[in-house]
Amino acid sequence: MVKDKKEEVDFDKRSIIESGRQLLNTIYEDDEIKPELENGRAYLVKEEIPKKSFGLAIEEMRKDRMGYILTTIKKEKIRENYALHEDKIEYHRLGDPSKEEEFDPSVLTLIAHSITNFLEKKGGTAIIEGVETLLEKNTFDKFVTFLDDLVTTTKVQNALVIITLDPETLSKEQLAQIEERLEILS
């Protein structure tokens, strides 16, 4: 009986990993190389619609890792597109702070504390989508300080962070400052 339960769990894990691979295959063209992500690094994915970044982050979260999602996208929409293990994922949405899972995007220190706390206690993968909203509600200098602290925490905790943004929403100088702090994924 115990053996059957273990085989079932192992099958579930293999099934989840395979569905993640299939998802990545739909995101990347046949001739496009899927990036190998490394712990202790923070990555930038420049895209208008966060498809590749979520695909990569969810794939990492499925590898028995913990996951942290900060986004402007509703949880139901993410669930619709990606099979998530709810017990492993900490979900936060930028928006109305009166709702339990939502952060006021203008309170960057609270957001930074939440992400840092998660990475220090649980490790794993964090994805940040909604940089444009954070920049709209905070000064660029404040955001850069947030980013520097996040990169440092990522290295120290041997975690993985993926940040996605639409490069068309930033000035060339702002984008350059963000790019010099993160590893760029195409």
pLDDT at 97: 76
Domain spans in the chain, listed from the N-terminal domain onward: 35-185
Distance set, CA 2 to CA 5, 8, 9, 11, 49 (Å):
5, 10, 11, 14, 44
The region, left, alpha or beta by phi > 0 then psi within -120 to 50, assigned to residue 104 is beta
pLDDT band at 146 (very low <50, low <70, confident <90, very high): very high
User: pTM here?
Assistant: 0.80
Per-residue pLDDT reduced to its tens digit, 14-67: 555 555 555 555 555 545 667 889 999 999 999 999 999 998 998 898 886 789
Contact 133, 105 (CB under 8 A): yes
CA atoms within 13 A on the CB side of 111: 32
* CATH number, span 35-185: 3.40.50.300
